Amino acid sequence: MDFLPISKADMEKRGWEQCDFVYVIGDAYVDHPSFGPAIISRVLEHAGFRVGIVSQPDWKNPQSIAVLGKPRLAFLVSGGNMDSMVNHYSVTRHRRKTDAFTPGGVMGKRPDHATVVYCNLIRQTYKNVPILIGGIEASLRRLAHYDYWSDSLKRSILLDSQADLLMYGMGERSIVEIAEALDSGLDVKQITDIDGTAYRTDTPDDSVPTVVLPSYAALKADKRAYAESFRLQAANCDPFTAKRLAESYDRETVVQNPPQKPLSTEEMDAVYDLPYCRAYHPSYEKLGGVPAIKEVKFSLVSNRGCFGACSFCALTFHQGRIIQTRSHDSILREAKIMTQDKDFKGYLHDVGGPTANFRAPACQKQLTSGACSHRQCLYPTPCKNMTVDHGDYVALLRKLRALPGVKKVFIRSGIRFDYLLADKKDTFFRELVQHHISGQLKVAPEHVSDVVLARMGKPRNAVYKRFVEKYDALNQKLGKKQFLVPYLMSSHPGSGLKEAIELAEYIRDMGYNPEQVQDFYPTPSTLSTVMYYTGLDPRTMERVYVPTDPHEKAMQRALIQYRDPKNYALVREALQKAHREDLIGTDKKCLIRPFPPHVQKRAGRASAAAGKRPAQKSAKKRAAPSHPAKKAAGNSGRKKQRSRAK
């Protein structure tokens, strides 16, 4: 197994004069199936094409894009495994200090809006070479979208990047079809009918049934139009039922074809059985390696897609709602490779995907007719037609546990607890608790207010309470002392101070002290982001309260960590503003004391100092037994206490 060429010298070793495709990526080059560029490049290689990698080029130097020369067919461009803006900035828009996808974790090796910058860099050097863009950044910005970092509605990334064609979703099928079309001599502007792609055109084809979205000008003028446009897009995300979409701009129209069809199990196996090096490029070793691989090196992908469809998650727009799975044999083959690695210590860190316990489509209808456009599979309650069965997953986990050299198999992907509770058999739940938890299980109730949960597309809080009770009972029955770590989110659309305080009270009653706070982060192409920008729920077009003021968001965040002394002032302000002064005091139900921590400390120090004064000592002497018998009894009592303590 060799890494793909990253230099002219590498090309010469292979006897190549020219690459068919030059793949420009915003991440370090990691040849591992958890990294999108690795999958796409290996799929192309398997199809017979020559692919070279240009990783994190210097975007201030046009020549950095030319290290492998001009490709025969096209440039491929991806911003990386994360949207470059999410990679660079926290929800408070502060610059992050590290980048896990860069050698040594160094920040600043890629530009903001990396896909756009790289494409424009290519155009400076190669005017007429086709440019194909893909990856999460391109996928979720394929049509007009709200950009949180500039607080504005941006155009399709196709226009700003000057790319010829965009691939959205996972892309294995579409990239091979495009490559074969280009290889046959077809002009890139003629490639307009491949599923999972979007293109720009001056003259849209009216002969193909198309849903015409509001124009970009209309979206800019009216936020309601954007909410309505998103509702149409969400209704056309299914590969079996989606229509073609068209969004017009001043001179051009962006056309989105329906998503590519789900991969069969055999196709998924073929993708993950390709000859990956399963490591970062050796040239990064002296720089400290690539931190991101630590999380996935000994983890197994068993599925794709998610029918959970949480409002704040972009998976519906990227991987879709139909579950695609690998076979047991394919996963076991990969696990056996892991056990031979010199760094393997006997622990498989994860077996899952977007949601670990989804190992089959929600119902058989989805494989022929697609996911329902008029309802979700789990929200507000599980669909009566949903097939709930963990049997296949249990069988897979048992096989993995039995592999020679494997000590423990953990599950660290998300567990959908409402789906787990819907299973009439407790087999998986029991084995999860008994075998697959490393001291604590992370789950994502996200909130406790049913008002907020409804906007999130999550089950009611009563469902989570049932899960907690059952989890605790199973731990007690199996003699385990394992904890739950709930992911909780502040400032999601629908959450005001009332709901934030409700969450804080739940944390108080639970005796939980969250170390981290997840503040809602508006990222492209999620339903929650549309709520944030428009103040409307696209599903119903109802008005939604949205906390956008930074100070209120800080108060909601502080309420989750109300025990932290640094948050005292914000928590007190929030409680007073919500007229919940009943939670300020010394009673057990109170969140904070009447006085700030530093005042309490001063009072405590003063009290301690007063306790050492001579007058108090003499008072204690006066209170001590004066009669010899009483003294003896007192001493005897103290001796008994010391004896019991021993």
Strand 440-446 relative to strand 483-490, pairing: parallel
Rounded to whole angstroms, how far apart are CA atoms 148 and 352?
30
pLDDT tens per residue across span 194-214: 999 999 999 988 889 999 999
Q: In this predicted structure, what is the pLDDT of residue 636?
A: 39
- Domain range for 562 is 485-609
Instruction: Give mean pLDDT, residues 168-187.
Output: 97
Q: Side chain identity at 395, as an amino acid letter?
A: A
Asked if residue 476 has pLDDT above 70, the reply is yes
- Give me the mean pLDDT over the 79-85 stretch: 97
The larger pLDDT score, comparing residue 328 to residue 374, is at: 328
Average pLDDT over residues 439-468: 96
What mean pLDDT value characterizes the chain?
92
What's the confidence (pLDDT) of residue 367?
86
Closest-CA residue to 189 (of 174, 203, 176): 203
- Quick one: which of 280, 262, 278, 406 has its CA closest to 332? 406
* Four-CA torsion 132, 133, 134, 135, nearest 10 degrees: 140
3-state secondary structure of 94: coil
Q: Is the pLDDT of residue 639 over 60?
A: no
Tokens 């031979």, residue located = 340
Q: Where are the alpha helices (DSSP H) in 89-213?
A: 114-125, 135-139, 157-161, 172-183
Cα torsion for 130, 136, 137, 138, to the nearest 10°? Answer: 40
Average pLDDT over residues 430-446: 95
**CA gap 22, 67 in Å, rounded:** 10
- Mean pLDDT along residues 307-334: 96
Domain total in the chain: 2
Distance in angstroms between the alpha carbons of the first and the last residue of the chain? 65
In a domain, 364, yes or no: no
Percentage of the chain surpassing pLDDT 90?
Answer: 87
Is 323 contained in some domain?
no
Q: What is the pLDDT of residue 612?
A: 60
Alpha carbon 585 to its chain centroid, in Å, reads 39
Helix (H, G, I), strand (E, B) or coil at 145: strand
Q: Domain for residue 66, yes or no?
A: yes
What gap in Å lies between CA 519 and CA 559, rounded to an integer? 12
- Could you give the C-alpha distances from 251 to 215, 247, 363, 370, 430, in angstroms and in order? 11, 11, 43, 35, 60
Nearest 5°: phi and psi at 307?
-90, 10
- pLDDT number for residue 613: 55
pLDDT for 445: 95
* Torsion, Cα of 433, 437, 443, 448 (10° steps): 50
Stated length of the chain: 646
- pLDDT higher than 90, residue 630: no
Query: How far are the Cα atoms of 490, 512, 541, 634 from residue 502, in angstroms, in the given order?
Result: 11, 14, 26, 50
CATH number of the domain within which 193 lies: 3.40.50
In a domain, 547, yes or no: yes
State residue 597's pLDDT score.
77
Q: Who contacts 460 (Cβ-Cβ below 8 Å, separation ≥6)? A: 380, 450, 453
- Containing 253, the helix (H) or strand (E) segment is strand 253-256
- Written as six digits, the tokens of 273 are 């059985």
d(CA 514, CA 508): 11
Residue 283 domain flag: no
Distances (CA, A) of 627 to 461, 620, 622, 623: 63, 15, 12, 12
Q: What ranges make up the beta strands (E) of 303-439?
A: 303-304, 324-325, 347-348, 350-352, 408-409
Q: How much is the average pLDDT of 318-340?
A: 97
Q: Is residue 240 part of a domain?
A: no
User: Could you identify the residue written with the tokens 């469902």?
Assistant: 463
Separation between Cα atoms, residue 448 and residue 461, nearest integer Å: 5
Of the residues 179, 199, 219, which one is the last residue of a structural domain? Answer: 199
R_g of the chain, CA atoms, integer Å: 29
In a domain, 120, yes or no: yes
d(CA 450, CA 250): 43
Q: What is the pLDDT of residue 326?
A: 98
Question: Which among 164, 179, 199 is the end of a domain?
Answer: 199
Q: What pLDDT is attached to residue 608?
A: 60
Q: Categorize the per-residue pLDDT at 161 as very low, low, confident or very high, splitting at 50, 70 and 90.
A: very high
Comparing C-alpha atoms, which of 47, 195, 182, 75 is closest to residue 133? Answer: 75
DSSP three-state, residue 198 = strand
Burial letters 168-190, b for 16+ CB under 10 A, else e: bbbbbbbbbbbbebbeeeeebee
**pLDDT number for residue 206:** 85
How far is residue 549 from each of residues 145, 491, 497, 580, 593, measured CA to CA in Å? 21, 10, 12, 21, 26
- 107: three-class secondary structure by DSSP: coil
Q: Average pLDDT for residues 625-635, to the nearest whole number? A: 37
pLDDT bracket for residue 516 (50, 70, 90) = confident
pLDDT at 624 over 90: no
Tell me what percent of the residues of the chain surpass a pLDDT of 70.
92
Whether the CB-CB separation of 246 and 210 falls below 8 Å is answered with yes
Name every residue whose Cβ is closer than 8 Å to that of residue 57 and which is 6 or more positions away in sequence: 24, 64, 65, 67, 118, 121
Give residue 602's pLDDT. 60
Cross-strand pairs, 95: 89
Res. 73 pLDDT band, cuts 50 70 90: very high
Model pLDDT, residue 111: 97
Tens of pLDDT, residue by residue over 395-408, are 999 999 999 999 99
* Residue where one domain finishes, among candidates 139, 166, 199: 199
| pLDDT reported for residue 519 | 95
Checking if the pLDDT of 328 tops 50, the result is: yes
Contacts of residue 624, defined as CB under 8 A and 6 or more positions apart, other chains included, come to 631, 634
Q: Is residue 118 in a domain?
A: yes
Is residue 17 over pLDDT 70?
yes
Which pLDDT score is estimated for 183?
98
Q: 69 — alpha (psi -120 to 50), left (phi > 0) or beta?
A: left
**What is the average per-residue pLDDT within 583-612?**
77
The predicted pLDDT at position 448 comes to 96
Q: Would you place residue 600 in the very low, low, confident or very high pLDDT band (cuts 50, 70, 90)?
A: low
Query: Residue 401 has what pLDDT?
Result: 98
